[in-house]
Amino acid sequence: MTIHELITALDYPAAALYVDVTGRFRYVGPKLLPDDPIRLAIAEHRALLTALFTYAPGRRCVFTNCYWLIAVGSKIACPDHCIAIDQESAILKSRQIAPPSGSEAVV
């Protein structure tokens, strides 16, 4: 079940999803059996649900269609996009250190 399917499958207004003051994701509503698809979907998507339901103005990744919270120490990107930025920066630096042959500057 996708997150979208989970959200639409909840029994509103009897059920609600939220993040408490300790940052823990919570479900309140009708009791769910251990194999209930809603319980399984919550378990599967808990990390992203926690990020989505966390009140965090100005603390979300700036990349399009990315809703994760920004990484600790970053001002713009989630952990995955920080890794992508680092990898791209490393590629650019390696190109600056070792220019292609035949492109030496004339002094």
Which residues are at the interface with Zn ion (CB under 5 A)? 61, 63, 66, 68, 78, 81
Taking the complex as a whole, the smallest distance from the CB of residue 60 to Zn ion amounts, in Å, to 8
Taking the complex as a whole, the smallest distance from the CB of residue 89 to Zn ion amounts, in Å, to 16
Provide the phi-psi class of 29: left if phi over 0, else alpha when psi is between -120 and 50, else beta.
left
User: What ranges in the chain are assigned the alpha helix state H?
Assistant: 3-9, 37-52, 79-97
Taking the complex as a whole, the smallest distance from the CB of residue 30 to Zn ion amounts, in Å, to 34
Residue 71 CA to residue 61 CA, distance in Å, equals 8
Q: Which residues of 37-62 are buried (b: 16+ CB within 10 A; e: fewer)?
A: ebeebbeebeeebbbbeeeeeeebbe
Between 40 and 66, whose beta carbon lies closer to Zn ion? 66
In the chain, the amino acid numbered 29 is: G
Between 76 and 90, whose beta carbon lies closer to Zn ion? 76
Between 52 and 81, whose beta carbon lies closer to Zn ion? 81
Taking the complex as a whole, the smallest distance from the CB of residue 65 to Zn ion amounts, in Å, to 9
Between 25 and 68, whose beta carbon lies closer to Zn ion? 68
